[in-house]
Amino acid sequence: MTANHLQSLRGRSRTCDYSFHRIYKAATKDQYHAGMKALSLILVTSAVLTTGCGGGTPKAASMSGNWRFFVTSQKLVGSTGIGNGALVQSGQTLSGTLDFTGACTTTTPLAGTLQGNIVAFQLTEHGQPASFTGTISNNSSHASGSWTTTLGGCVNGDFGTWFADKN
């Protein structure tokens, strides 16, 4: 082998080393970027799941505020009542006064409880209790359920459905 031939091989070796280094560097760079993309995707997904999909502490339902109630009788078909009033919630205890039209009562106190999204309260119609049960929406703007009364008086064992919207 001549000196020129050895010099030529050394040059090729450097070229091969340089090409290999470029390929390795490009592969490593691509792997790095792919890894960063995967990590970013994991972090974004984690953030969405913990904040946007209920991962945090849910807000407790609240019935405090002004409400409009709609009551329908199942016993006296076509009989309805509409009530408006302000409710106050302290912990799980509800209280307030409702003004009704189209029912046996005009103004009545309300007393009850709210546990989670389950609501239960009583009104008094001319001395007779009317018991209401139902649920409140997750955003605390709508509630609905059923109601019953005892026998006798104006309401005489009536029952039906109700819903209410927060004003």
pLDDT tens-digit profile of 6-32?
A: 455 555 545 545 544 455 555 566 665
In the listed set 16, 37, 57, which residue is the last one of a domain according to the structure? 57
Q: What is the CATH number of the domain that holds 162?
A: 2.40.128.120
Q: Is 105 exposed, middle or buried (0-12, 13-18, 19+ CB in 10 A)?
A: buried
Smallest CA-to-CA distance from 67 within 104, 92, 99 is with: 99
One domain for residues 39 and 70: no
Task: Give the residue ranges of DSSP H helices in 72-116.
Answer: none
| CA gap 46, 137 in Å, rounded | 27
- Half-sphere exposure at residue 26, Cβ-oriented, CA atoms within 13 angstroms: 6
Task: Kindly compute the dihedral angle of the four CA atoms of residues 113, 117, 123, 129, in this order, to the nearest 10 degrees.
Answer: -80
Over residues 131-144, the mean pLDDT reads: 97
pLDDT(43) > 90: no
pLDDT at 106: 79
Joined tokens for residue 31? 């792997």
Report long-range pairs for 101-105 (Cβ below 8 Å, ≥24 apart). 103/71, 103/79, 104/153, 104/154, 104/155, 105/154
Residues 80 and 131 in one domain: yes
Does 99 lie in the same domain as 49?
A: no
> Looking at residue 22, what is its pLDDT?
54
Q: In terms of residue numbers, what domain contains 153?
A: 65-166
My answer on whether 43 and 9 are in the same domain is yes
Residue 14 phi, psi (nearest 5): -65, -40
Same domain, 11 and 87: no
Number of domains in the chain: 2
